[in-house]
Protein backbone atom coordinates (compact mmCIF):
# COMPACT_ATOMS: atom_id res chain seq x y z
CA UNK A 1 0.00 0.00 0.00
CA UNK A 2 1.29 3.46 -0.89
CA UNK A 3 2.39 5.70 1.94
CA UNK A 4 3.20 9.42 2.11
CA UNK A 5 5.47 10.76 4.87
CA UNK A 6 7.16 13.99 5.91
CA UNK A 7 10.51 14.43 7.65
CA UNK A 8 12.15 17.65 8.85
CA UNK A 9 15.92 17.90 8.37
CA UNK A 10 18.23 20.47 9.94
CA UNK A 11 20.98 21.81 7.67
CA UNK A 12 23.79 23.80 9.34
CA UNK A 13 25.45 26.25 6.96
CA UNK A 14 29.16 26.70 6.36
CA UNK A 15 28.89 30.37 7.28
CA UNK A 16 26.08 32.83 8.13
CA UNK A 17 23.82 33.46 5.15
CA UNK A 18 22.94 37.15 5.03
CA UNK A 19 20.64 38.80 2.49
CA UNK A 20 18.35 41.83 2.63
CA UNK A 21 15.61 39.83 4.41
CA UNK A 22 17.82 38.69 7.28
CA UNK A 23 20.53 36.27 8.35
CA UNK A 24 20.49 32.55 9.19
CA UNK A 25 23.09 30.00 10.27
CA UNK A 26 21.05 26.89 9.52
CA UNK A 27 18.01 25.86 7.51
CA UNK A 28 15.21 23.47 8.35
CA UNK A 29 13.93 21.83 5.20
CA UNK A 30 11.34 19.11 4.76
CA UNK A 31 11.60 15.85 2.80
CA UNK A 32 8.43 14.35 1.34
CA UNK A 33 8.51 10.61 0.63
CA UNK A 34 6.16 8.57 -1.53
CA UNK A 35 6.68 4.89 -0.70
CA UNK A 36 5.11 1.92 -2.49
CA UNK A 37 7.37 -0.65 -0.88
CA UNK A 38 9.93 -1.63 -3.46
CA UNK A 39 10.17 1.86 -4.94
CA UNK A 40 10.44 5.20 -3.15
CA UNK A 41 10.38 8.77 -4.45
CA UNK A 42 11.58 11.77 -2.49
CA UNK A 43 11.07 15.50 -2.92
CA UNK A 44 12.45 18.47 -1.01
CA UNK A 45 10.65 21.45 0.52
CA UNK A 46 12.80 24.52 1.21
CA UNK A 47 11.82 27.82 2.81
CA UNK A 48 12.38 31.51 2.18
CA UNK A 49 14.03 33.42 5.03
CA UNK A 50 11.37 35.29 7.03
CA UNK A 51 8.66 34.14 4.61
CA UNK A 52 4.96 33.97 5.43
CA UNK A 53 4.89 30.19 4.90
CA UNK A 54 6.49 28.43 7.88
CA UNK A 55 7.48 24.82 8.45
CA UNK A 56 4.43 24.49 10.72
CA UNK A 57 2.20 25.70 7.87
CA UNK A 58 3.69 23.05 5.59
CA UNK A 59 3.25 20.29 8.18
CA UNK A 60 -0.43 21.19 8.67
CA UNK A 61 -1.04 21.40 4.92
CA UNK A 62 0.68 18.05 4.39
CA UNK A 63 -1.52 16.43 7.04
CA UNK A 64 -4.61 17.72 5.22
CA UNK A 65 -3.21 16.48 1.90
CA UNK A 66 -2.38 13.05 3.32
CA UNK A 67 -5.88 12.75 4.76
CA UNK A 68 -7.38 13.34 1.30
CA UNK A 69 -5.09 10.86 -0.51
CA UNK A 70 -7.07 7.73 0.35
CA UNK A 71 -7.54 6.48 -3.19
CA UNK A 72 -4.58 4.95 -5.08
CA UNK A 73 -2.85 7.15 -7.62
CA UNK A 74 -2.88 6.30 -11.29
CA UNK A 75 -0.07 8.19 -12.98
CA UNK A 76 1.05 11.75 -13.59
CA UNK A 77 -2.28 13.10 -14.83
CA UNK A 78 -4.01 11.78 -11.72
CA UNK A 79 -1.63 13.40 -9.22
CA UNK A 80 -1.73 16.70 -11.11
CA UNK A 81 -5.51 16.68 -11.14
CA UNK A 82 -5.67 16.10 -7.40
CA UNK A 83 -3.07 18.75 -6.62
CA UNK A 84 -4.93 21.27 -8.75
CA UNK A 85 -7.99 20.76 -6.57
CA UNK A 86 -6.05 21.58 -3.37
CA UNK A 87 -4.69 24.83 -2.00
CA UNK A 88 -1.15 23.98 -0.94
CA UNK A 89 1.93 26.15 -0.28
CA UNK A 90 4.00 26.21 -3.46
CA UNK A 91 7.06 24.61 -1.87
CA UNK A 92 5.01 21.75 -0.43
CA UNK A 93 3.25 21.24 -3.75
CA UNK A 94 6.66 20.88 -5.38
CA UNK A 95 7.83 18.43 -2.72
CA UNK A 96 4.75 16.27 -3.22
CA UNK A 97 4.71 16.44 -7.01
CA UNK A 98 8.43 15.76 -7.38
CA UNK A 99 8.43 12.82 -4.97
CA UNK A 100 5.69 11.12 -7.00
CA UNK A 101 7.36 11.91 -10.33
CA UNK A 102 10.66 10.55 -9.02
CA UNK A 103 8.78 7.39 -8.05
CA UNK A 104 7.25 7.19 -11.53
CA UNK A 105 10.70 7.44 -13.11
CA UNK A 106 11.81 4.41 -11.10
CA UNK A 107 8.63 2.54 -11.97
CA UNK A 108 9.12 3.23 -15.68
CA UNK A 109 12.86 2.49 -15.43
CA UNK A 110 13.48 5.86 -17.04
CA UNK A 111 14.82 9.32 -16.22
CA UNK A 112 12.79 12.21 -14.86
CA UNK A 113 13.22 14.48 -17.93
CA UNK A 114 11.78 11.74 -20.14
CA UNK A 115 8.82 11.33 -17.78
CA UNK A 116 8.26 15.09 -18.07
CA UNK A 117 8.78 15.08 -21.83
CA UNK A 118 11.75 17.45 -21.84
CA UNK A 119 15.30 17.18 -23.15
CA UNK A 120 18.05 16.07 -20.80
CA UNK A 121 21.20 17.93 -19.82
CA UNK A 122 24.24 16.38 -18.19
CA UNK A 123 25.68 19.46 -16.56
CA UNK A 124 25.26 23.24 -16.29
CA UNK A 125 27.63 26.05 -15.38
CA UNK A 126 26.25 27.59 -12.21
CA UNK A 127 27.03 30.87 -10.52
CA UNK A 128 28.23 30.79 -6.92
CA UNK A 129 26.52 33.07 -4.42
CA UNK A 130 28.34 35.47 -2.13
CA UNK A 131 26.18 36.38 0.88
CA UNK A 132 26.27 39.94 2.11
CA UNK A 133 29.50 40.64 3.97
CA UNK A 134 32.12 43.25 4.69
CA UNK A 135 34.46 43.99 1.78
CA UNK A 136 37.31 42.91 4.07
CA UNK A 137 35.88 39.37 4.22
CA UNK A 138 35.58 38.84 0.46
CA UNK A 139 39.08 37.56 -0.28
CA UNK A 140 39.02 34.84 2.36
CA UNK A 141 35.50 33.81 1.31
CA UNK A 142 36.58 33.36 -2.31
CA UNK A 143 39.58 31.26 -1.31
CA UNK A 144 37.82 29.11 1.30
CA UNK A 145 35.04 28.20 -1.13
CA UNK A 146 37.21 27.75 -4.23
CA UNK A 147 35.01 30.31 -5.95
CA UNK A 148 37.50 30.92 -8.75
CA UNK A 149 36.42 27.64 -10.39
CA UNK A 150 33.06 29.25 -11.26
CA UNK A 151 32.51 31.39 -14.34
CA UNK A 152 30.20 33.77 -12.46
CA UNK A 153 29.20 34.85 -8.97
CA UNK A 154 25.93 36.23 -7.67
CA UNK A 155 26.48 38.91 -5.06
CA UNK A 156 23.83 39.38 -2.40
CA UNK A 157 23.50 43.13 -1.92
CA UNK A 158 21.13 44.91 0.44
CA UNK A 159 21.17 48.43 -0.97
CA UNK A 160 23.07 51.45 -2.18
CA UNK A 161 25.71 51.13 0.55
CA UNK A 162 27.21 48.08 -1.16
CA UNK A 163 29.30 49.90 -3.77
CA UNK A 164 32.56 49.02 -1.98
CA UNK A 165 31.43 45.40 -1.56
CA UNK A 166 30.77 44.97 -5.30
CA UNK A 167 33.99 46.73 -6.26
CA UNK A 168 35.99 44.42 -4.01
CA UNK A 169 34.46 41.31 -5.55
CA UNK A 170 35.22 42.71 -9.01
CA UNK A 171 38.84 43.36 -8.00
CA UNK A 172 39.34 39.81 -6.80
CA UNK A 173 37.16 37.76 -9.16
CA UNK A 174 37.77 37.63 -12.91
CA UNK A 175 34.46 36.08 -13.98
CA UNK A 176 31.01 37.56 -14.55
CA UNK A 177 29.21 39.44 -11.79
CA UNK A 178 25.51 39.08 -11.09
CA UNK A 179 23.76 41.10 -8.40
CA UNK A 180 20.78 40.02 -6.29
CA UNK A 181 19.11 42.66 -4.13
CA UNK A 182 16.12 40.65 -2.84
CA UNK A 183 13.96 43.82 -2.95
CA UNK A 184 16.55 45.79 -0.98
CA UNK A 185 16.16 49.17 -2.75
CA UNK A 186 13.41 51.69 -2.04
CA UNK A 187 13.08 53.40 -5.41
CA UNK A 188 14.15 53.25 -9.04
CA UNK A 189 16.22 56.36 -8.51
CA UNK A 190 18.16 54.69 -5.68
CA UNK A 191 18.97 51.77 -7.98
CA UNK A 192 20.10 54.05 -10.81
CA UNK A 193 22.38 56.00 -8.45
CA UNK A 194 23.91 52.73 -7.25
CA UNK A 195 24.44 51.47 -10.80
CA UNK A 196 26.05 54.78 -11.77
CA UNK A 197 28.53 54.36 -8.90
CA UNK A 198 29.65 50.98 -10.30
CA UNK A 199 29.27 51.79 -14.00
CA UNK A 200 32.86 50.78 -14.77
CA UNK A 201 32.08 47.21 -13.64
CA UNK A 202 30.40 44.88 -16.18
CA UNK A 203 27.23 43.52 -14.56
CA UNK A 204 25.50 40.57 -16.20
CA UNK A 205 22.18 41.32 -14.52
CA UNK A 206 20.52 42.73 -11.40
CA UNK A 207 17.89 40.55 -9.77
CA UNK A 208 14.77 41.96 -8.09
CA UNK A 209 16.10 45.29 -6.85
CA UNK A 210 12.64 46.65 -5.90
CA UNK A 211 9.62 45.37 -4.02
CA UNK A 212 7.32 43.07 -5.93
CA UNK A 213 4.46 45.17 -4.55
CA UNK A 214 5.61 48.27 -6.48
CA UNK A 215 5.12 47.32 -10.11
CA UNK A 216 5.04 50.93 -11.34
CA UNK A 217 8.44 51.61 -9.80
CA UNK A 218 9.80 48.43 -11.39
CA UNK A 219 8.57 49.71 -14.75
CA UNK A 220 10.24 53.09 -14.23
CA UNK A 221 13.53 51.35 -13.51
CA UNK A 222 13.16 49.08 -16.55
CA UNK A 223 12.94 52.14 -18.82
CA UNK A 224 16.31 53.53 -17.68
CA UNK A 225 18.32 50.59 -16.37
CA UNK A 226 21.73 50.11 -18.02
CA UNK A 227 21.76 46.42 -17.00
CA UNK A 228 19.40 43.48 -17.42
CA UNK A 229 16.76 43.19 -14.70
CA UNK A 230 15.56 39.76 -13.57
CA UNK A 231 12.33 39.10 -11.66
CA UNK A 232 12.33 36.79 -8.64
CA UNK A 233 9.92 37.76 -5.87
CA UNK A 234 7.69 39.34 -8.53
CA UNK A 235 7.08 35.91 -10.07
CA UNK A 236 6.71 33.26 -7.36
CA UNK A 237 4.08 30.69 -8.46
CA UNK A 238 2.20 33.06 -10.76
CA UNK A 239 1.96 33.13 -14.52
CA UNK A 240 4.51 34.93 -16.70
CA UNK A 241 2.21 37.48 -18.33
CA UNK A 242 2.73 40.34 -20.80
CA UNK A 243 3.25 42.89 -18.02
CA UNK A 244 6.60 41.32 -17.13
CA UNK A 245 8.03 42.83 -20.31
CA UNK A 246 7.36 46.30 -18.89
CA UNK A 247 9.27 45.72 -15.67
CA UNK A 248 11.98 43.14 -16.38
CA UNK A 249 14.21 41.63 -19.03
CA UNK A 250 13.93 38.12 -17.62
CA UNK A 251 12.63 35.88 -14.83
CA UNK A 252 14.24 33.64 -12.23
CA UNK A 253 12.26 30.42 -12.01
CA UNK A 254 12.59 28.33 -8.85
CA UNK A 255 10.87 25.00 -8.34
CA UNK A 256 10.26 25.80 -4.68
CA UNK A 257 8.43 28.98 -5.62
CA UNK A 258 6.71 27.88 -8.82
CA UNK A 259 5.03 24.91 -7.16
CA UNK A 260 6.39 22.03 -9.19
CA UNK A 261 7.94 20.76 -12.38
CA UNK A 262 4.83 21.32 -14.50
CA UNK A 263 4.29 24.91 -13.35
CA UNK A 264 7.98 25.76 -13.73
CA UNK A 265 8.07 24.39 -17.26
CA UNK A 266 5.03 26.50 -18.16
CA UNK A 267 6.70 29.60 -16.70
CA UNK A 268 9.77 28.91 -18.85
CA UNK A 269 7.68 28.41 -21.99
CA UNK A 270 5.65 31.57 -21.43
CA UNK A 271 8.76 33.63 -20.65
CA UNK A 272 10.46 32.55 -23.86
CA UNK A 273 7.33 33.34 -25.84
CA UNK A 274 7.51 36.90 -24.52
CA UNK A 275 11.20 37.24 -25.37
CA UNK A 276 12.29 37.21 -21.74
CA UNK A 277 15.54 35.71 -20.50
CA UNK A 278 15.20 32.70 -18.20
CA UNK A 279 17.19 31.75 -15.13
CA UNK A 280 16.85 28.52 -13.18
CA UNK A 281 17.42 29.26 -9.50
CA UNK A 282 17.31 27.54 -6.15
CA UNK A 283 17.03 28.03 -2.42
CA UNK A 284 19.43 26.83 0.23
CA UNK A 285 18.60 23.17 -0.25
CA UNK A 286 20.25 19.79 -0.53
CA UNK A 287 21.52 18.14 -3.69
CA UNK A 288 18.13 16.41 -3.91
CA UNK A 289 16.49 19.75 -4.68
CA UNK A 290 19.36 20.83 -6.95
CA UNK A 291 19.21 17.61 -8.96
CA UNK A 292 15.49 18.26 -9.40
CA UNK A 293 16.29 21.59 -11.03
CA UNK A 294 18.77 19.85 -13.34
CA UNK A 295 15.89 17.73 -14.60
CA UNK A 296 14.35 20.78 -16.32
CA UNK A 297 17.55 22.69 -17.09
CA UNK A 298 17.58 22.43 -20.89
CA UNK A 299 17.54 25.69 -22.82
CA UNK A 300 17.85 28.09 -19.87
CA UNK A 301 19.92 31.28 -20.21
CA UNK A 302 21.34 31.49 -16.67
CA UNK A 303 21.83 28.97 -13.87
CA UNK A 304 22.03 29.64 -10.13
CA UNK A 305 22.12 26.16 -8.62
CA UNK A 306 24.68 26.38 -5.84
CA UNK A 307 22.37 26.07 -2.81
CA UNK A 308 23.73 22.69 -1.69
CA UNK A 309 27.32 23.97 -1.75
CA UNK A 310 26.63 26.20 1.27
CA UNK A 311 25.73 23.30 3.57
CA UNK A 312 28.14 21.83 6.10
CA UNK A 313 26.82 18.37 5.29
CA UNK A 314 24.54 17.22 2.49
CA UNK A 315 22.39 14.22 3.49
CA UNK A 316 21.92 13.31 -0.18
CA UNK A 317 24.37 12.47 -2.93
CA UNK A 318 22.29 13.60 -5.88
CA UNK A 319 24.54 16.24 -7.44
CA UNK A 320 28.09 17.51 -7.27
CA UNK A 321 30.19 20.35 -8.66
CA UNK A 322 33.25 20.00 -10.87
CA UNK A 323 35.12 22.97 -12.32
CA UNK A 324 32.17 25.27 -11.78
CA UNK A 325 29.60 22.93 -13.29
CA UNK A 326 26.82 21.05 -11.51
CA UNK A 327 26.33 17.43 -12.51
CA UNK A 328 24.07 14.56 -11.49
CA UNK A 329 25.51 12.01 -9.10
CA UNK A 330 22.61 9.79 -10.11
CA UNK A 331 19.21 10.12 -11.75
CA UNK A 332 16.10 9.64 -9.63
- Split at pLDDT 50, 70, 90, the class of 2 is confident
Strand blocks (E) in 144-295: 152-156, 176-180, 203-207, 229-231, 250-253, 277-280
Q: What is the pLDDT of residue 330?
A: 65
Query: Any idea where the domains of the chain sit in the sequence?
Result: 3-109, 123-328
CB atoms within 10 A of CB 71: 9
Q: What is the pLDDT of residue 306?
A: 98
Q: What is the pLDDT of residue 332?
A: 44
| pTM attached to this predicted model | 0.95
Spatial separation of the C-alpha atoms in residues 122 and 327, rounded to whole Å: 6
Q: What is the mean pLDDT of the chain?
A: 95
Polymer length in residues for the chain: 332
- What is the tens place of the pLDDT at every residue in 150-191? 999 999 999 999 999 999 999 999 999 999 999 999 999 999
Closest CA to 202 of 223, 182, 173, 181: 173
Bridge partners, residue 133, by sequence = none
Domain 123-328 belongs to what architecture?
Alpha-Beta Barrel (3.20)
Residue 50 pLDDT > 70: no
- What is the tens place of the pLDDT at every residue in 251-275? 999 999 999 999 999 999 999 999 9
Pick the residue with more confidence: 331 or 221?
221
Closest CA to 195 of 182, 211, 206: 206
What integer is the mean pLDDT of 197-221?
97
What integer is the mean pLDDT of 63-92?
92
Fold of 3-109: Enolase-like; domain 1 (3.30.390)
Buried b (16+ CB within 10 A) or exposed e, 272-301: eeeebbbbbbbbbbbbbbbbbbbbbbeebe
Collapsing DSSP states into helix, strand and coil, what is residue 322? strand
Contact, 263 vs 304, CB < 8 A? Answer: no
Amino acid sequence: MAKWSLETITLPLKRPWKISRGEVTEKENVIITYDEGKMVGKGEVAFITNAQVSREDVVRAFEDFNHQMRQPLNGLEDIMGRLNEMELPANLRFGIESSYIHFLAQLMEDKVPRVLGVREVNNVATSFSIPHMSPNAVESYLLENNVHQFSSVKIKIIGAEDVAFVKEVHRLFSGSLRLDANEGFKSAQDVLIFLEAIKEIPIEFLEQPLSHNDFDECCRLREKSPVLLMADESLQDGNVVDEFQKAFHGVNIKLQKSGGYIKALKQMKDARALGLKTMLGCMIETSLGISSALNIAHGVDFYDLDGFLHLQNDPFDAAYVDKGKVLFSFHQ
